[in-house]
Structure 1
Amino acid sequence: MKTLSHNPGASIAEVSQDAAEAKAISRLLQNSEINEENVMNAYRTETLRQMKQTGEYMFLCVQDTTEIKFGNRGKTPGLGAYNREQTKGLLVHSALVLTPSGLPMGLLHQKIWARELGLKAQRKVSRPYEEKENYKWTETAQASVQGLPSDMHLIHVGDREADFFEFLSTLQADNQSYVIRSMQNRITEAEGRMWDDVCKQPVAGEIVVSIPRDTRRGVPTRETTLAIRFLTDTVQVPAHLKQKRAGYSPLTCTIIHAVETTPLEGQAPIEWFLFTNLPITTVDEASEKVAWYVQRWKIERFHYILKSGCEIEKMQARDGDRLKKLILFYSIIAAQLLHLTYLARQQPDAPCTEVMNDEEWKVLHRIAYKTNTLPPNPPTLHESVMALAKLGGFLGRKGDGDPGAKVLWRGIRAFQTVFESYRYLL
C-alpha cells in the first residue's frame, strides 16, 4: 500500500523500485488470504479511530455507485459489460463518511462486483429485494454501522437512486437516520402527492449554500440562496409491494423542498425534494438537513480522484479479482487524498505534523523554498499543502482559491520522487 500511494496513477511496474518489488505486489494481488474484506476491515478500524478523535458524535454516511471501465478487454476474466457489452468493467459502491461540516474521514464500506453480461433481470419487480442490484444500498448501510461505537450515530445520505421504498423502510425499521433526495412524487395516505403537498406550504425560510463547480457547463463554484418548505406526512406502500404482500407498512417522514430563488440566467433553478426520518419542527432543522445533502457531492470528488488522479481505469491485471484488490487499495489512497485536501481547508493553522513526519516536512520545506534553513517549528497544514500543490503545478495566484485534490496528488507524486532520491543520497 505504501508503494502504491507514493505514485497514484502509475502502473505496478512504474511504482516498484525493482523487479522484486513489482513481483511482491503481484503476489499480494494473487494471495487469496489477503482479500477485500480483510483489507477493508483493517482500514475501517483506522477510519473509526480517526472519527473518534474528532470529538463528533454524528457523521454523514454518503453512498454512491460508479462504473470503473477498462475498455474492450474481452479476454480479461471476471469483468462485467456495459454500454451494450462494448465496454468491460466493474461496479463500485462506496460509503464515504464525513463530519457534519463536510470533512471526509474515510470509507466505512465498499462493494465491488461485475454485472453479469446482458443482465437486466436484477431490476425486475418479480425478483426478491435481496437479489436485486439495488440491495447494495441496504447491504452497505447495515455494514457501515457494524462495530460503530454506541456514542456515534450515522446519517445515511443518498441521491435519487436511493429513493426506493424497500431501502427507506429498512432504514426506518433498523432505527437508522437518512436524508435522501426524492425521485418519485409518492402518494400519501390522504391520496395526495407529497411533492404537490409540500409545495403548497408557505416558505419557512432561506439558506445560502455553496454549489460545486459544473465543469460540463463551465459554471464555477458559487453561492446561491434556496427557499425552504417542509411537511411531515405518511406515504403509501407502493402498489407493486402491496401485491407481493411483502409486509411493508406506510412510511411517515418529512419532505423538504429546497428551490433556488435566483437561478443563473438561462438555467433552470436548483430544486430538491429531500426525504428524512429525522424530526423537523423548525426551519433551522430543515436547513441543516439541506446543508448535509449538499455535502453529498464529496463522494463524487472521491470518484474523480480515483479515476482521474489514481487513474484506476488504466490499471492492468490478469483478472477481475486482482483488479478488485487494486480498486480497493487505490480507493483508500483516494480517500486519504480527499481527507488531506479538506483538512487543510478546515484546519489550516494545524501543524503539518498531523499528516507528515519530521523528515518529510523538512525535505518539503527545503524543496519548496529552495533553502537549507529550517523554521524553528513545523509549518502549518495550509502552508505544507500549498507547497505540495505548487510542486503539482498550482500557481497560487490571487483568485485561484484553494488547490484541489487532483493538483495535490500531482504534487505528492513529485514530492515522493524527490523525497526518495533525497533519502537515497543520505
Structure 2
Amino acid sequence: MVAGKTVCLRQLSRGNRALEVRFNRFLGHDKVTVDRIIESWSNSTGPAVEGRHVLAIQDTSEIHFNTTPQRRRGLGEIGKGNNHGVLLHPLLAVDADDGSCLGLLSGQIWTRAGRRTTSHDDRELSDKESQRWISTAVAARPLLTKAAAVTVLGDRESDIFALYASSAKQHFHVIARSMHDRKLADRSSLYEASDAMAAVDQRMIQLPARAARPARLAHLELRFGAIELARPQNKLLHHLPKSLPLAVVDVREINAETGIEPLHWRLLTSHEVTSIEDAWRIVQWYKQRWIIEQFFRILKTQEPQARRQSDRIRRSASQAGCDRRQGGRHHHPASAGPQWWSPAHSRGLRQRPNWRAHSPQPATRSREQATKEPTSAR
C-alpha cells in the first residue's frame, strides 16, 4: 500500500483479478479484526526503540464516511453530531533526539453508540472517552521496556490528572499542554502562578506550517517553575494522590504580527526542570507533536479516491489499520460513550468514506464535552 501509494485493491492488483480477490478475502476473513491489526502495528517498533529516548505522541482524529440514515449501521456521531464515522487514536513513537519516526506503538478505533444521559462528572474515568489517553499509553508500555526513557506527549485534551498520576506508576514521563486553570496545593491557580513567574529568556523558534497557518518564526518568551498540582474535587478521584509535584513551562509569543494569534503554551510535565536549557528542551519536545498531525494529514490525503472503493466498513477499518502500520514506519518528520469497534456491526454494508472532507483536526471530545468542562471533570 505504501509502495503503490494507494489502498484501492483493484489498483494494487494491477489488473490481476485473482490477486484482488485474494486480498479482498483476506480483509474479509473473520480473524482479520481491528484489534489484531492494531496489535500488529507495533511488530517492528519494539526493536527500533531500544536504547532511545522515545516520545510517545498520541492524538485523536475523525474518519468521516459519506452515508445515509438507512446505511449508517455501525457508524457513530463525529464532529458536532452532524456527520458520522469512526474515531482513531494512535500512539506514535518518535526519537526525542533527532525527531525520526520509529513506528506505531498502540491505538484505539471506536464509534460513539448513542446519547449519554449520565453527567460527565458522575461517570468513572473508564466510562469516558478521555480514558483513551491513559489506556493507550499503558498498553504500549511493555513494548518500551528497552527504551532508555519514555515521554508520553499530548495536546490539551491530555491534560488529565489521572494521566499525571499514572506516569510514576508506569515509569514514564508526561508532557501535556494545559487546558484547565487548575488549582494548586496552596489554593492558588495554575495560570495565576505561571503569570507571576519571571521571564528568564527569549528565543526565535521556527513553527511548522499547519492547515490554515503558514510556517513562521515566532519570538517566544520563557517562564518556568515547580508546582504542586492539587487533585480535582471529584468524589470519583479520591483514590488518586491529593497532589502531584510537576513543572510548568510557559512560553508565549511576543511582538506577533498583526492578524496572527500569538502562541501561548503552558506545558505541564513530570520531567525535572531546573534550568533554562531544561525548559527549552521541553518546548522542543512538545514541538514534535506536529509529527502526528502530519501523520494524519498523509493518511487523509493519500489517494482519497481509493478510499471510496472500500465495500464494507469492516474492510475499510482493516485497510486503515494496515495503512497506518506501514505509514508509521516510513514517515519521517457526542455526547456518546465509546463503543469499541466490532466487525459484526457492519457486515454487508457498502459505505463511501470521504477522507478529504475534513481537515486533520483532532476529533477531540463528544458534544457534552464540547463546552468547557469544569476542572473537576478531569
Fold shared, TM-score > 0.5 on shorter chain: yes
| 3-state SS, counterpart of residue 60 of structure 2 | strand
Pairing 1:303-314 to 2, within 5 Å after superposition? 303-311=296-304, 314=307
1:130–1:291 distance in 2 versus 1, CA, 3 Å: same
Residue aligning to 2:176: 180
Q: Is the 8 A contact 2:141 2:170 kept in 1?
A: no
Q: Given the alignment, which residue of 81, 85, 90 partners 1:89?
A: 85
Which stretch shows the higher mean deviation, 11-20 or 225-234? 11-20
Deviations 1:224-248 (A, max 9, x none): 2311111111121111x24663444
Correspondence 1:145 to 2:141: yes
How far apart in 2 are the matches of 1:313 and 1:68? 14
How far apart in 2 are the matches of 1:107 and 1:331? 8
Correspondence 1:154 to 2:154: no
How far apart in 1 are the matches of 2:68 and 2:118? 24
Name which structure has the greater RCO, CA cutoff 8 Å, separation 6+: 2
Matching residue's letter, 1:236:
A
Matching residue's letter, 2:61:
T
Residue aligning to 1:5: 2
Q: Given the alignment, which residue of 100, 106, 110 partners 1:113?
A: 110
How far apart in 2 are the matches of 1:313 and 1:130? 36
1:247–1:266 distance in 2 versus 1, CA, 3 Å: closer
Q: Given the alignment, which residue of 193, 206, 228 partners 2:202?
A: 206
1:243–1:179 distance in 2 versus 1, CA, 3 Å: closer
Q: Given the alignment, which residue of 19, 23, 26 partners 2:24?
A: 26
Residue aligning to 1:419: none
Residue aligning to 1:230: 224
Q: Given the alignment, which residue of 327, 333, 348 partners 1:334?
A: 327
Q: Given the alignment, which residue of 46, 60, 63 partners 1:65?
A: 60
Residue aligning to 1:397: none
Pairing 1:37-48 to 2, within 5 Å after superposition? 37-48=35-46
CA displacement at 1:300 relative to structure 2:
0.4
Matching residue's letter, 1:36:
V
CA displacement at 1:147 relative to structure 2:
3.0
Residue aligning to 2:76: 80
How far apart in 2 are the matches of 1:213 and 1:84? 26
CA displacement at 1:76 relative to structure 2:
5.0
Residue aligning to 1:413: none
Matching residue's letter, 1:116:
A
Deviations 1:50-100 (A, max 9, x none): 333xxx521111100000001225415322223565422110001111111
| 3-state SS, counterpart of residue 7 of structure 1 | coil
Pairing 1:242-321 to 2, within 5 Å after superposition? 242=235, 245-311=238-304, 314-321=307-314
| 3-state SS, counterpart of residue 146 of structure 1 | helix
Which stretch shows the higher mean deviation, 121-130 or 156-165? 121-130
How far apart in 2 are the matches of 1:312 and 1:48? 33
How far apart in 1 are the matches of 2:13 and 2:306? 19
Q: Given the alignment, which residue of 48, 51, 60 partners 1:50?
A: 48
Residue aligning to 1:322: 315
| 3-state SS, counterpart of residue 214 of structure 2 | coil
| 3-state SS, counterpart of residue 263 of structure 1 | coil
How far apart in 1 are the matches of 2:237 and 2:37? 39
Gaps in structure 1 of 5+ consecutive residues: 343-426
Runs of 4+ in 1 over 6 A off after TM superposition: none
Rg comparison, structure with higher value: 1
CA displacement at 1:261 relative to structure 2:
2.4
1:242–1:307 distance in 2 versus 1, CA, 3 Å: same
1:170–1:51 distance in 2 versus 1, CA, 3 Å: closer
Structure number with the higher strand fraction is 2
Deviations 1:334-392 (A, max 9, x none): 324423xx4xxxxxxxxxxxxxxxxxxxxxxxxxxxxxxxxxxxxxxxxxxxxxxxxxx
How far apart in 1 are the matches of 2:306 and 2:112? 17
| 3-state SS, counterpart of residue 143 of structure 2 | coil
Matching residue's letter, 1:274:
L
How far apart in 2 are the matches of 1:189 and 1:260? 29
Q: Is the 8 A contact 1:8 1:330 kept in 2?
A: no
Q: Is the 8 A contact 1:78 1:319 kept in 2?
A: no
Deviations 1:186-222 (A, max 9, x none): 1111111112112211112233322111442xx4322
Q: What's the Cα RMSD here?
A: 2.3
Paired residues in the alignment total: 330
| 3-state SS, counterpart of residue 60 of structure 1 | strand
CA displacement at 1:123 relative to structure 2:
6.8
CA displacement at 1:127 relative to structure 2:
1.4
Q: Percent identity?
A: 23
Structure number with the higher helix fraction is 1
Residue aligning to 2:11: 14
1:190–1:297 distance in 2 versus 1, CA, 3 Å: same
| 3-state SS, counterpart of residue 112 of structure 2 | coil
